[in-house]
Amino acid sequence: MQNEEPIKDANELLEKLENLHPSDIAYSLRKIENESVDDFFYVLKTIPDELLGEVLLELPDNLREAAYTELSIQRLTDAVDLLESDDATDIIQEIEEIDIEKAKEIYDGLEEEDKKDIEWLKRYEEDEAGAYMQTELFSAKLNETVGESIQRLKTAKANDELINIHQVFVVNEEKSLIASISLEDLIIFDFDKTYEEILNQADEFKYKPFKVSDNTHIDEVAKQVEQYDLNVVAVVGYQDMLMGRITSDDILDVIEQNATEQMYQLAGVNEGFEHEDNLITTAKKRAIWLFLNLGTAILASLVIGLFDQTIQAYVALAILMPIVASMGGNAGTQTLAVMVRQLALGDIELENAKDAVKKEVFISLVNGLLFAIIMGIIAWIWFDEKLLGLVIALSMVVNLFSAGFFGASIPLVLKKFNIDPAVGSTVLLTTVTDIVGFFSFLMLAKVILL
């Protein structure tokens, strides 16, 4: 069984290394580092090259950075040399951010072919498919026999050059991707046949490869992997030239990361700055959102200020007014979360957006009426004033309606303008529900009560 208790003793961990998955080693190292930083570095310096790179990749950012500083150029070079191209590139780029000289020396120590791959992969923006692809893959030419290609696979595997192979990518003379044949099909073929023969006999669409262009946005790649239940996507460049592949484990991380970002954005948190060592930086980034919220809150206060005499005449209004704003804010948040998420998942699209808005408005009206009655009666009894109950009831309907309408519309409008619907929509919505909440309540009170 996996997921055993972490090993907290440095020497015990080193002894058991070979039975452990790099992810488990990294987990144990986190525990060891908690107890003693020296032990942490001792293990890192002692574990074999073929594990070091994989373990580094599984460590949290701050520990990985510490390791980059502490480990020698030679050790880092050996570790990077054994990684797949995408991971090697990530590590080199991370070291560059800390110590550009060290990164350069490590890079210089790599094999020529690895250098070329890394140079190429570094060109991509971090959200492009190319930045996620590994260049190591199993490909075959049309005129090759299955047996010949398997012989190459055997050699590559013996040299630890290829792992995680699920299919052979068939390319033509120009290296354009023609077909993708999964190993489950390959293994039952006649090994003496050429790929050309196999493809000619097969149904045209049977081995059609799933592919994306190297500059495709990674979120789009993730959508395709999800939609078509893929294990691997081929990445192609100019004229469909096969460049690399992206595996589902990378996509899983992308999906998890995107969900985190969305949750954070709705809460006014900038995901990218949450793992900073310097807490002041994290605090600053959060302060930006709080600052926007302060603006909203002051606007709401200005609205209240318009009715200062009404409040002075009826102090019950000051007591009750946060209820209306709070209920509107909450109902709006419900709608917002549903809209943002369903837009992200593709369950709602701009075309059928009208139905979604109608649905949300209907729900908010139903609940507006429900809570109008409840809160109307409570206010009436509490302050023994029937009209006050009427004021809060009417205001509840108005505010929950606008919460539903704007909670549904704001993300759609943002999306229409190609802005991420999760970003800023909470602040915009709060502005609406606060202002509508306070204004409707106090205005109705002024008209009805005074």
Binders of a second copy in range 230-259 (CB under 8 A):
230-231, 247-249, 251-253, 255-256, 259
Smaller CB distance to a second copy: residue 108 or 347? 347
Please provide the DSSP assignment of 85-117 as one string. HHHHHHHHHHHHHH-HHHHHHHHHTS-HHHHHH
**Token digits for 447?**
């008209």
Is 100 a binding residue for a second copy by CB under 8 A? The answer is: no
Q: How many CB atoms lie within 10 A of CB 334?
A: 16
Work out which of 279, 384, 417, 418 binds a second copy, going by CB under 8 A.
279
Kindly compute the dihedral angle of the four CA atoms of residues 164, 68, 257, 222, in this order, to the nearest 10 degrees. Answer: -40
Smaller CB distance to a second copy: residue 21 or 175? 21
Binding window for a second copy (CB under 8 A); candidates: 72-80, 86-94, 115-123, 278-286: 278-286
Is 80 a binding residue for a second copy by CB under 8 A? The answer is: no
CA 165 – CA 181 distance, rounded (Å): 11
Instruction: Decide: residue 205, CB within 10 A, 0-12 exposed, 13-18 middle, 19+ buried.
Output: exposed
**Token digits for 43?**
């293990």
Close Cβ partners of 403 (under 8 Å, ≥ 6 residues apart)? 328, 329, 331, 332, 335, 364, 429, 432, 433, 436
SS3 211: strand
SS3 321: helix
Is 202 a binding residue for a second copy by CB under 8 A? The answer is: no
Is 425 a binding residue for a second copy by CB under 8 A? The answer is: no
Smaller CB distance to a second copy: residue 194 or 364? 364
CA 194 – CA 206 distance, rounded (Å): 17
For the bound state, the minimum distance from the C-beta of residue 23 to a second copy, rounded and expressed in Å, comes to 5
Footprint of a second copy on 15-74 (CB under 8 A): 18-19, 21, 23, 34, 60
Work out which of 126, 160, 173, 229 binds a second copy, going by CB under 8 A.
229
**Residue 35 · residue 8 · CB < 8 Å:** yes
Smaller CB distance to a second copy: residue 131 or 321? 321
Residue labelled with tokens 């023994």: 384
Is 423 a binding residue for a second copy by CB under 8 A? The answer is: no
Pairing of strands 139-141, 177-182: unpaired
CA 365 – CA 434 distance, rounded (Å): 18
Is 215 a binding residue for a second copy by CB under 8 A? The answer is: no
CA 135 – CA 175 distance, rounded (Å): 14
Smaller CB distance to a second copy: residue 153 or 390? 153
Is 290 a binding residue for a second copy by CB under 8 A? The answer is: yes
Smaller CB distance to a second copy: residue 106 or 412? 412
For the bound state, the minimum distance from the C-beta of residue 27 to a second copy, rounded and expressed in Å, comes to 8
Work out which of 8, 166, 175, 193 binds a second copy, going by CB under 8 A.
166
Is 283 a binding residue for a second copy by CB under 8 A? The answer is: yes
**Token digits for 80?**
């990077």
Count of residues near a second copy by CB under 8 A: 112
Close Cβ partners of 260 (under 8 Å, ≥ 6 residues apart)? 271
Footprint of a second copy on 103-142 (CB under 8 A): 138
CA 61 – CA 74 distance, rounded (Å): 21
Smaller CB distance to a second copy: residue 345 or 419? 345
For the bound state, the minimum distance from the C-beta of residue 445 to a second copy, rounded and expressed in Å, comes to 13
Is 12 a binding residue for a second copy by CB under 8 A? The answer is: no
Is 359 a binding residue for a second copy by CB under 8 A? The answer is: yes
Work out which of 37, 345, 350, 419 binds a second copy, going by CB under 8 A.
345
Smaller CB distance to a second copy: residue 71 or 245? 245
For the bound state, the minimum distance from the C-beta of residue 256 to a second copy, rounded and expressed in Å, comes to 6
